[in-house]
Amino acid sequence: MSQLDWIVLAISLVAVIIYGVYRSRTSYNLDGYFLSNRSMNWGLILLSIMGTQASAVTFISAPGQAYTDGMRFVQYYFGLPIAMIILCIFFVPIFYKLKVYTAYEYLENRFNGKTRTLTSFLFLLQRGLSTGISVFAPSIILSSLFGWNIYWTNLFMGGLLIIYTVSGGAKAVAYTQQLQLIIIFTGMFLAAYMVVRMLPANVGFSDALYVGGKLGKMNIITSGFTKNGFDWSDQYNLFSGIIGGFFLALSYFGTDQSQVGRYLTARSVGESRLGLLMNGLVKVPMQFLILLIGILVFSFYLFNKAPIFFNSKQISRLESSTVYKDSFTRAQQAYEQVAVAKQKTVTEFASALEAKNDAELDKKGEELKLLQTQSDSIRKKVKQWIAKSGGDNNDTNYIFLGFVVTYLPEGLVGLLIAIIFLASWGSIAAALNSLASCSMVDFHRRFSKKEIKPKDEYRISQWYTLGWGLFCVVVAMFTYNIGNSLIEAVNVLGSLFYGVILGVFLVAFFLKKIQNGNAVFLSALLAEAVVLIVFILTKIPSANFKLGFLWLNPIGALGVILFSLLIHAISKKKKVMLAIHDHAETTT
Amino acid sequence: MSQCGYMPMRVLVIDTSPYSTLQIDFMSDQKDKIPLFKAWTHWYVLVIGVLVLLIVLFYWLTKTFA
C-alpha cells in the first residue's frame, strides 16, 4: 500500500471512531444504552439493519462468488422481503407492546424462564463464536494480501470499535453504521466505475455483461431442476432462495438479538416497520449490484490475464512443494497460453458485438466457451493440488481484493481496505451490543440477588460489552491456530440453530393452544436433534444424502411446530384418560 | 371505513397465558402516521410487488445475456 492509501485508511477509521464517541451521549440506564431511549427514525433503523447484516465478507466475497459461480447467489435473498412483512405484522408489535430489551424476554412471558434461558444461551454461544470469526475472516485475507501480522490485524479489526461500542451502546452503533455505509457505498461505486473504465475502449458496461453472460455468469435465475428432477443439494436457486431464504431471514431478523436490538431502538412501531420494509425493498437490488461488480471483474480478466489462483500465499506453497512443483509449473504455462488465446478471442468477440455480426458472435462465443472450460479445468487441478498439500483451495475471498490491489489507483486502494474494516466494525459492534444486552437482561438481571440501580446497570452493561469484545478478539486469535475447518463449522452453526429458535417463536406467536412451556422446550430439543441428524447424514458420503444448508432452517422450524403439536395432543389425550379414570374410580 | 381509510380492524388473539390480554392488532398503531400510503397493507403489497418485478427483470436479464 502506498502512503496515500495509508492516509485514506487512517482518516476513514479515525473519523468513524471520533464520530462514534461524539454520538455516544445517552441517558445512564439500560433504555439509553441498549435501546437509545427508543428515539431512532426509520432511516437510521434501515442503515443499522443493513450495516449489521453486511459484514466485511459481504463486500469481499460476493464479487468473488459472482466471478466463480455467477450471479445466482442473489436468489439467496429472495425470501428476505417476505420475511420483513411477517416481522412487521407479527413480531414488531409484540416486542413493542411488551417493551422488551431482548427477543428472548418474550419467551418467558409466553412459556417459561427455561425456554428464555435456552434460546438466549444458544444465541450467546452462536453469536459469540461467529463474531470472533467475523473478526478473523477479513483479517486473514488482509494479512495474506499485504503480509500484515495476523495478531495485530485481528486487534485492529476487532479492538478499535470497542471504544465507541462500550461508550455509546446502541446509539453509537447506529450512528457509526450510518457513516460506515456511506463510505462503503461510495467506495464500491468507485470500484465498479473503475472496472468499466479500465475495459477496452470499444467495450462498454452492457458488453461486459454480455461477455460474462456468454460464459454462464449471468445465471441470475435458476430453477434447481435437472434431468433427474429437483436438485436438493443445489444451494442457490429460485425455490431454495424463496423458501429457505425466507426461513433464514425470518429467524435472523426475528429471533437474533443482533438484529432485533436494532429495530427495538425505533421511536415507534411505525418507524420500526418502515425501516424493515425499506430493507425488504433495497436488499435484493443492493446485493445484485455488488454481485454485478464480480461479473465486471470477470469480464475485465478476460481482456487482462487473470492469475491462476488469487491467493498468492497458496501459490507459493505449490511452488515450494517437492510433489507438485513441476506439475504446477506446467499447469501455469498451459494456463497462460489459454489466457492469451482468450484475450484474442474476447477482443474479436467484442468487435463482432460492436459490428452486430451475429454469425461471428456465435462462432467466437463458442470458442470463448471452450477456452473458458480449459482454463477452468486447469484451475480445478491447481485447487486439488493446493488441497492435497494442506492449503486453503478457496480463493473466492481474494478475487475482488486482488483486483483492487493490482489495478486500482492509489488512494482508492486505501478506501477499499477501509471498507473492509468499516463493514466488519458495523456488524461486530451490533453483535457486541446484543451480546451485552442478553448477558445483562436475560442473565445478570434475572439471577442477581441484589437490586441494581439504573446507573450501575449501565456501567455493568459497558463491562459486558468490553468483555464480549475481548472474547471475540481472543476467539479470532485462536482461530488462526486452529485453522479453516473451524470457520466452516461456525458458519454452519447458524443454520443448525436458527430454524429451531424460529420454531419456538412461531409456536409462541401462532399456536395459542400450546401453553405448556416444558412441551415447547422438549420439542426444541427434539427438533434440534433432527436437524443435527440430517446435517450429519449430508456429511456421510456413504449415506448418499444431499441437502443444501438453507433447508436446515425450515426443517428446524417445522420440527418444533410438529413436535409441539404432537406432545400437546398426547398430553391432552393423557389428561382425558386420567379424567375418565378418576371419574370411574369415584363412581365405583 | 374508518377516518384513516381502514377496513374494520381484525384482531388475532395470540395466547391465553398470563399475558392473554396481549393481542396482535394487524392494522393497529394508527397513532403512527403511515408514510406515503393509507395502510400498512399497501406497503406490504408494494414490497411483494417489487420482489416479483425484480424476479421477472432478473429472469429477462438471464435470458437476454445468456
Say if residue B39's pLDDT is above 60.
yes
Residues 6+ apart with CB under 8 A from B5: B38, B39
CA B3 to chain A, closest CA, distance in angstroms equals 18
Q: Is A289 on the interface with B (CB under 8 A)?
A: no
Say yes or no for a CB contact (<8 Å) between B48 and A213.
no
B47 in contact with chain A, both atoms CB, cutoff 8 A? yes
What is the spatial distance between Cα A102 and Cα A264, in angstroms, rounded to a whole number?
Answer: 9
- The model's pTM is 0.83
pLDDT at B12 over 90: no
Task: From chain B, pick out residues whose CB is under 8 angstroms from the CB of A38.
Answer: none
* A240 pLDDT above the threshold of 70: yes
Task: Summarize pLDDT for A64-119 with one digit per residue, the tens.
Answer: 889 988 999 999 899 999 999 999 999 999 898 888 999 999 999 888 888 899 88
A187-233: per-residue pLDDT in tens?
889 999 999 999 988 888 888 999 999 898 999 998 888 888 888 77
Query: Which residues 216-245 of A have a C-beta within 8 angstroms of B?
Result: 216, 218-221, 238
- Report the residue from A90, A213, A277 with minimal CB separation from B24: A90
Q: Give A-chain residues touching B50 at CB under 8 angstroms.
A: 81, 281
What is the pLDDT confidence band of residue A234, given thresholds at 50, 70 and 90? confident
ipTM reported for the complex surpasses 0.90:
no
Asked if the Cβ–Cβ distance from B50 to A221 is below 8 Å, we say: no
Contact across the interface for A94 and B24, Cβ inside 8 Å: yes
Query: Chain A contacts of B24, Cβ < 8 Å?
Result: 89-90, 93-94, 509
CB contact under 8 Å between B54 and A285, yes or no, is yes
C-alpha cell read off for A541: 458420503
pLDDT, tens only, A373-412: 999 999 999 999 998 888 888 888 889 888 998 999 999 9
- Cβ of B58 within 8 Å of Cβ of A220? The answer is yes
pLDDT for A588: 63
Q: Does A110 touch chain B (CB under 8 A)?
A: yes
Note which residues in 486-515 of chain A have CB less than 8 A from chain B: 508-510, 512, 515
pLDDT grade for A235, boundaries at 50, 70 and 90: confident
Output the pLDDT for position A428. Answer: 93
Q: Could you report the per-residue pLDDT of A252-280, keeping only the tens digit for each?
A: 899 899 999 999 999 999 999 999 999 99
Q: What is the pLDDT of residues A277-327, one digit of tens each?
A: 999 999 999 999 999 999 999 999 999 989 999 888 888 888 888 888 888
Q: Specify the pLDDT at position A481.
A: 58
Higher pLDDT, A205 or B24: A205
Per-residue pLDDT band for B14 (boundaries 50, 70, 90) equals very low
Q: What is the least distance, in Å, from the CA of A24 to any CA of chain B?
A: 28
Residue in chain B nearest A267 by alpha carbon: B32
Q: What share of chain A is helix, strand, coil (3-state, %, to 5)?
A: 80, 0, 20
Measure the CA–CA gap between A384 and A389, rounded to whole angstroms. 9
Closest listed residue to residue A131, CA positions, set A418, A423, A427: A427
A411-437 tens-digit pLDDT: 999 998 998 889 889 999 999 999 999
Count of other CB atoms within 10 angstroms of residue A99: 11
* CB nearest to A221's CB, from B22, B50, B55: B55
pLDDT at A21 over 60: yes
pLDDT recorded at residue A491: 58
Per-residue pLDDT, A333: 92
**Chain A residue with minimal CA distance to B14?**
A512
Inform me whether the pLDDT recorded for B4 exceeds 50.
no
Cα–Cα distances in Å, from A426 out to A262, A324, A462? 12, 42, 18
A269 touches chain B (CB under 8 A): yes
The pLDDT value given to residue B7: 40
pLDDT, position A144: 80
Partners of residue B25 on adjacent β-strands? B11
When comparing pLDDT for A578 and A456, which is higher?
A456
Q: Which of B19, B51, B61 sits opposite A218 (nearest CB)?
A: B61
Any B CB within 8 A of A288 CB: yes
Contact list in B for residue A109 (CB cut-off 8 A) is 17-19
- Is residue A250's pLDDT more than 70? yes
Q: In chain B, what residues touch A245 (CB-CB under 8 Å)? A: none
What 3-state DSSP class applies to A443?
helix
Per-residue confidence band for B3, with pLDDT thresholds at 50, 70 and 90:
very low
How many angstroms separate the CA of residue A266 from the nearest CA in chain B? 12
Name the more confident of A190 and A543: A190
Measured between CB atoms, does A209 come within 8 Å of chain B? yes
Distance (Å, whole) CA A13 – CA B58: 36
Residue A40 DSSP class = B
What residues in B contact A279, CB-CB < 8 Å? Answer: none
Mean pLDDT, chain A, integer:
88
Q: For cell 456413504, name the residue.
A: A542
Residues on chain B touching A85 (C-beta within 8 angstroms):
44, 47-48
Q: Give the confidence band of B21 by pLDDT, cuts at 50, 70, 90.
A: very low
Q: What is the mean pLDDT of residues A505-527?
A: 89
**Interaxial angle between packed helices A245-255 and A552-587, expressed in degrees from 0 to 180 and rounded to the nearest 10:** 70
C-alpha distance from A218 to closest chain B C-alpha (Å): 6
AA identity, residue A123: F
The pLDDT score that the predictor gives to residue A204 is 87
Contact A491, A454 (CB under 8 A): no
Given this model, what pLDDT does residue A449 score?
A: 83
Asked if the Cβ–Cβ distance from B29 to A270 is below 8 Å, we say yes
Cβ separation A220–B17 shorter than 8 A: no
**Whole-number pLDDT of residue A302:** 92
pLDDT category at A371 given cuts 50, 70, 90 is very high
How does residue B53 score in pLDDT terms, banded at 50, 70 and 90? Answer: very high
Residue A240 and residue A549: Cα distance in Å, rounded?
Answer: 10
Residue A274 in contact with partner chain B when CB distance is under 8 A: yes
**In terms of CA atoms, which chain B residue is nearest residue A109?**
B19
* Chain B positions in Cβ-Cβ contact with residue A98 (cut-off 8 Å): 19, 22
Looking at per-residue pLDDT, the higher value among B16 and A335 belongs to: A335
- Give percent of chain A with pLDDT exceeding 90: 39
Chain A residue with Cα closest to B15: A512
**Beta strands B23-25 and B11-13, pairing class:** antiparallel
Hey, how many other C-beta atoms are within 10 angstroms of the C-beta on A318?
A: 23
Of the residues B23, B47, B52, B59, the best mutation for testing chain A's interface (the one with the most A CB atoms within 10 Å of its CB) is B47
Cell numbers given for A186: 461510495
As beta bridge partners, residue A282 has none
- CB atoms near residue B60 (< 10 Å): 12
Restricting to B residues 16-45, those with a Cβ less than 8 Å away from any Cβ of A are 16-19, 22, 24-26, 28-29, 31-35, 40, 43-44
B54, B59, B60, best to mutate vs chain A, most A CBs in 10 Å = B54
Provide the pLDDT for residue B13.
39
User: What pLDDT is stored for residue B1 in this prediction?
Assistant: 35
Q: Do B19 and A109 touch (CB under 8 A)?
A: yes
CB contact under 8 A, A218 and B48: no
Residues A300, A342: Cα–Cα separation, whole Å: 12
